[in-house]
Amino acid sequence: MSFGEIETHIPTLGAAKIGSPIQGWRQGGESANFVSDNDRVLVDVTPAGLEKLCQENKPFPSFEMAGPRERIYFDPSKLRCALVTCGGLCPGLNDIIRSVVLELYYGYGVRRIYGIKYGLQGFIPSYGHDVIDLDPPAVVNIQDMGGSILGSSRGPQSIEEIVDTLDRMNIGILFMVGGDGTLKAANLIAKAISAHNLRISVIGIPKTIDNDIHMVSRSFGFDTAVDIATQAIKGAHNEAESYPNGIGLIKLMGRHSGFIAATATLAQQDVNFVLIPEIPVDLEGPNGLLTKVETRLQERGHAVIVVAEGALQELFDSEDRRTDASGNVRLHDVGLFVRDRIKAYFKAKDIEINLKYIDPSYMIRSVPANANDSVFCGFLGRDAVHAGMAGKTEMLVAHWNNHFVHVPMALSAGQRKQVNPDGKLWSTVLGATGQGSMRNQDA
């Protein structure tokens, strides 16, 4: 996609006519550090991208900068807000909840904040899930807990029933925390709200531990995931070094994108082979993984392999594919598959190996956020509140070019960010591991 062709306009519910009650932004007691819609962040800041736009005589697309507006749309004394977390667990969910609640309560004086239990199911009356009141005492110290105090769920729910519930509850702002499926649902909810002529703002907070949401340079939980994945790599390396022909095999998250596997490899440079969904790999043959592992054992006596969960899926029967409640294809367990193929290969050659397999996935997903992610979540939550109070809708708060910005939901939903096989991240991984190509056609 050419950056010159993207639409970055953010819809609003109407004119913002109410003076903001935000305190603490004063500088010298004279002026407030508010952000204007005219404060912009360029989408593409690369020299090549800027030169191309100049040559094509196209405008430089830019995002609205996130932050508090001088005037807001909603009257805080009459406003009701709802907050929901959807999809898989991720470090930082409770930090997001806490920052949204505290900014609404202390920054704007909003007193009616509702937590929707168990994802989108919480909007559907037939499930019978409770709605909980959120205030500062309800969120104290939750940043020290893993998971989400609101719970979560997967799977589509009736958009009409969700909108009906929002209308009955007289909700003014809905904050939805989730990944690609949640953002697509949020976009549909916002469109249905508009079709019903309701004045409800829908603000998305992008959540994916895999860091694969389109037009979002960093997602919360990713830093924590890399931290813990690094510990798994250390353990695997220690195990591999401690035995003759030792092999440490670690499976990490990454359904469609290998950012965690690649970044953790660079954080702990004890890895010799990395398999990610974006890079095709042969197992057999003179240049395949198994041959290269054998050569590594002959030369160094041990090997460490990291495999992202979405790697090598093309080797499985495409007809044997089921989907989960959210419509995602259920991946085959590539970690166990690679483990068994390695064992079979060396057994056939009568070579004794000592293989240790580590899968830390669910432990990583459910732990509290680390310090960096916690700070990041604080910015995301507060900026989501600022956007909602200003009457913005059909948007998500994202980090882009070192700034927090407003991104249209339609721009991110349904697309995915992946590791660039020709980019700096992957070329650095190749340099750190020395694995080279594992395709026989490149031998």
Task: Please say if the pLDDT value at position 381 is more than 80.
Answer: yes
More confident residue, 6 or 206: 206
Q: What is the average per-residue pLDDT within 208-220?
A: 92
CATH number for the domain that contains residue 391: 3.40.50.450
Percent of all residues in the chain with a pLDDT value above 70, rounded to a whole number: 91
Q: What is the pLDDT of residue 348?
A: 96
Q: What is the pLDDT of residue 372?
A: 96
Which residue of the set 44, 210, 282, 383 is catalytic? Answer: 210
Q: What is the pLDDT of residue 22?
A: 86
Q: What is the pLDDT of residue 2?
A: 46
Query: Is 210 known to be catalytic?
Result: yes
Q: Are residues 289 and 177 in the same domain?
A: no
Q: What is the pLDDT of residue 412?
A: 85
Q: Are residues 165 and 229 in the same domain?
A: no
Q: Determine, yes or no, domain membership for 14.
A: yes
Q: What is the pLDDT of residue 155?
A: 85
Q: What is the average per-residue pLDDT within 129-145?
A: 96
Q: Are residues 358 and 379 in the same domain?
A: no
Q: What is the average per-residue pLDDT within 136-160?
A: 94
Q: Are residues 351 and 301 in the same domain?
A: yes
Q: What is the average per-residue pLDDT within 57-66?
A: 86
Of 100, 110, 221, 97, nearest in space to 151 by CA: 97
Q: Are residues 306 and 389 in the same domain?
A: no
Q: What is the pLDDT of residue 121?
A: 96
For residues 283 and 271, what is the distance between their CA atoms, to the nearest angstrom? 18
Q: Note whether 208 and 180 are within 8 A (CB).
A: yes
Least confident of 252-261, 303-312, 406-415: 406-415
Q: Determine, yes or no, domain membership for 171.
A: yes
- The DSSP 8-state label assigned to residue 240 in this structure reads H
Task: Please say if the pLDDT value at position 420 is more than 90.
Answer: yes
Q: What is the average per-residue pLDDT within 392-412?
A: 94
Residue range 223-236, pLDDT digits in tens: 999 999 999 999 99
At 23, the pLDDT band (50, 70, 90 cuts) reads low
For residues 322 and 312, what is the distance between their CA atoms, to the nearest angstrom? 17
3-state secondary structure (DSSP) of residue 109? coil
**Residue 298 structural domain:** 223-366+422-442
Q: What is the pLDDT of residue 178?
A: 92
Q: Determine, yes or no, domain membership for 337.
A: yes
Q: Are residues 405 and 436 in the same domain?
A: no
Task: Please say if the pLDDT value at position 1 is more than 60.
Answer: no
CATH number for the domain that contains residue 350: 3.40.50.460
Q: Are residues 384 and 347 in the same domain?
A: no
Q: Are residues 339 and 396 in the same domain?
A: no
Q: What is the pLDDT of residue 336?
A: 95
Q: Determine, yes or no, domain membership for 15.
A: yes
Least confident of 51-55, 113-117, 240-244, 255-259: 51-55
Q: Determine, yes or no, domain membership for 320.
A: yes
CB atoms within 10 A of CB 358: 19
Task: Please say if the pLDDT value at position 32 is more than 80.
Answer: no
Which residue is it, tokens 């800041």? 45
Task: Please say if the pLDDT value at position 107 is more than 90.
Answer: yes
Residue range 269-279, pLDDT digits in tens: 999 999 999 99
More confident residue, 214 or 318: 214
Q: Are residues 211 and 280 in the same domain?
A: no
Residue range 299-338, pLDDT digits in tens: 999 999 999 999 999 888 665 556 555 556 668 899 999 9
What burial letters (b/e) apply to 242-259, b meaning 16+ CB within 10 Å?
Answer: ebebbbbbbbbbbbbbbb
Residue range 335-364, pLDDT digits in tens: 999 999 999 999 999 999 999 999 998 889
For residues 282 and 417, what is the distance between their CA atoms, to the nearest angstrom? 24
Q: What is the average per-residue pLDDT within 27-37?
A: 69
pTM recorded for the entire structure? 0.91
CB atoms within 10 A of CB 140: 11
At 131, the pLDDT band (50, 70, 90 cuts) reads very high
Q: Determine, yes or no, domain membership for 417.
A: no
3-state secondary structure (DSSP) of residue 176? strand
DSSP annotation string for 352-421: --EEEEE--HHHHHHSPP-HHHHHHHHHHHHHHHHHHHTTB-SEEEEEETTEEEEEEHHHHTT-B----T
Q: Are residues 96 and 198 in the same domain?
A: yes
Q: Are residues 158 and 173 in the same domain?
A: yes
Task: Please say if the pLDDT value at position 118 is more than 90.
Answer: yes
* Residues in a beta bridge with 250: 306, 358
Q: Determine, yes or no, domain membership for 240.
A: yes
Average pLDDT over all residues of the chain: 91
* Number of domains observed in the structure of the chain: 2
Q: What is the pLDDT of residue 26?
A: 47
Task: Please say if the pLDDT value at position 35 is more than 60.
Answer: yes
Q: Are residues 135 and 47 in the same domain?
A: yes
The arrangement of strands across the sheet holding 403-408 comes to 40-42, 62-65, 403-408, 395-400, 201-206, 173-178, 80-85, 112-116, 131-133
